[in-house]
Amino acid sequence: MKKIVSILIAGLVLIAFSVSPAFAGKKKICKLGHVNSPASIFQYGALAFKEAVEKELPDWTVEVYPAGGLGGTLAMIQGLTLGTVDIYTEFISTFAGLVPEYNVFGVHYKFDSVDEYELFMNSATFAKMNEKMIKTNGITNIGNMRAGSVYSQFSNQPMHTVADAKGVVNRVAQMAPLVQCWKAYGAKPTSMDWGEIYPSLQTGVITAIDNPILDMYDEKFHEAVKYVNKTNNLYNMISYQTSMAFWKQLNDKEKDVFKRAVHVASIKGALEVEKRLGGVVAELKEKGIKFIDTDPSGFKKAVQSNIDTILQGNKDAIAVYNKIMNKDF
C-alpha cells in the first residue's frame, strides 16, 4: 500500500504539468470508467448518467468504459489523481488506502440500511472526510447511486451462524478492514482482483464471495456455487468519485448538471434493481441454489469486539465508526 500511495503522490506532482485531454477540441469529453461488466448495474447507472448529462449539456460527451476499459482498480484511482480518468464509479470502500477514515467503509455491520448509508454520505462527518480526500489525493465525491447494494454471500457451503464461517475461503477486495472482518469470523479471506474471481470459484481456489446479488449474478458467479447466504454484512451505494483536475474545469452550471445526473442515475438504478432482483432470485432458486437466512448476531459481536484490530488502531477511523454506531454523524 505504501508503494500505491507513493505512486499517487507522484501523480499529484505530475498533474501540475499536464492538461486534461477531456477539454481538447470543440466537444467536451468526460471519461467515466468502472471495473464491472457491461451487463452490470454499474453500467446501467453510467449510461443513465451519460444520458442525463448529454441531454442538458449538448456540448458534452460522456464516454463510458466498463470492464476495466480505463484500467483496473488501482490504475483508475491513480488516473483520478493524475487527471487521466475523470470519473470512477465504485464502492467507496475501495478508496480506504488513501485516507485512514475511509477504512470505516470496509467495516461490516455498521449501517442497518441503504437509507442510513445515504444519510451518512450527506452528513457533516462525511463532508470532512471528503475534504481530506480532496486535499491529499485530488479526488472528490460528487454523488452516490442506489444499486440494491446490500451484500450477500455466494458460497459452496451454507452459513447459518458465525460458526459456519470458520475456514471458509472468501474472496475480498484488497482492503485491510474487509480482510480483518472475515478473519474475526474465523474465515480465510483471500484478496484478488474482480476479473480473477470467476475462474477461482470454478477451480476451488476460493469457495465464496460476498457482494450484492445482482453484481455477482451479472458476472455469472452463481454458476460455480450452491448457496446464497443472506449475510447483509455491508450496505453500499455506488460512489461517483471524480478527479479534481477535471472538476475544477467545470463551470457552476456544469457541476450542477453532473451532480443532478448522479441523482437521476440513482433513481433509475433503484427502479432497475427492484424490477430485476425478484426475477434473478427466482431463477437462482430454480437452478437449485439454496438461500440461507444467516443469523448476523455472532458476526456483529465479532466486529465490535475486534474493531481496534479491524481499523488498525487508527483513532480517526475508530472515531468515525463510533459516530456511525451511535447514530451521531
Domains of the chain: 2-147+236-275 (3.40.190.170), 151-234+280-314 (3.40.190.170)
- What predicted TM-score, i.e. pTM, was given to this entire model? 0.87
The stretch 133-140 carries a mean pLDDT of 99
Confidence grade of residue 149 (pLDDT, cut at 50, 70, 90) = confident
The single-letter code of the amino acid at 320 is: V
pLDDT in tens, 32-70: 999 999 999 999 999 999 999 999 999 999 999 999 999
pLDDT in tens, 290-327: 999 999 999 999 999 999 999 999 999 999 999 999 99
| CA atoms of 325 and 230, how far apart (whole Å) | 22
| CA atoms of 245 and 243, how far apart (whole Å) | 5
**8 A C-beta contact, residue 68 and residue 285:** no
| CA atoms of 67 and 310, how far apart (whole Å) | 30
**8 A C-beta contact, residue 88 and residue 76:** yes
**8 A C-beta contact, residue 79 and residue 85:** yes
Q: Look over the chain and give the mean of its residue pLDDT values, rounded to a whole number.
A: 93
The stretch 182-195 carries a mean pLDDT of 94
What pLDDT score was predicted for residue 123?
98
- The C-alpha cell that represents 287 in the structure block: 437452478
Q: β-strand 227-229 against 290-292: which pairing, if any? A: parallel
Select, from the ranges 14-23, 104-113, 141-150, the one with the highest average predicted confidence (pLDDT): 104-113
Q: β-strand 238-243 against 139-145: which pairing, if any? A: antiparallel
pLDDT value at 218 more than 50: yes
pLDDT value at 8 more than 70: no
Q: Where are the beta strands (DSSP E) in 51-168?
A: 60-65, 87-91, 139-145, 151-155
